[in-house]
Amino acid sequence: IINNNDLEHDVNVMVRFHAKESDMFLYWIPDEGNDEKQLAFIEKGSSYQESTHPGHVFKVYHAYDPDIHETFNIHGQYGESQDIHVEL
């Protein structure tokens, strides 16, 4: 049986997405690869923080042109944090 004492202190990876050049939408892509889940609208110059797990995939869309997008795969270790600066 696992209890709280068996778990690492921080069991997530903290990720911050920074919208450097434009407004954007942030989506999480489930392991099944379908039905993207919208997480946030991030205004230019702002950021959004998400607690996640290694291997999770996120997709960022330009707010005014959905044909412009970029995909990010999280490679951090549990307890780490990552800053992702997005230029769309």
**What does the alpha-carbon distance between residue 32 and residue 47 come to, in Å, rounded to a whole number?**
27
Torsion of CA 55, 69, 47, 81, to 10 degrees: 20
Please check whether residue 71 is in contact with residue 59, taking contact to mean a CB–CB distance below 8 angstroms: yes
Percent of the chain with pLDDT strictly greater than 70: 86
pLDDT of amino acid 2: 47
**What does the alpha-carbon distance between residue 60 and residue 24 come to, in Å, rounded to a whole number?**
7
Q: What is the pLDDT of residues 38-65, one digit of tens each?
A: 999 999 999 999 999 999 999 999 999 9
pLDDT of amino acid 34: 75
* Closest alpha carbon to 82 in 38, 48, 59: 48
**What does the alpha-carbon distance between residue 8 and residue 79 come to, in Å, rounded to a whole number?**
8
With cut-offs at 50, 70 and 90, classify the pLDDT of residue 1. very low
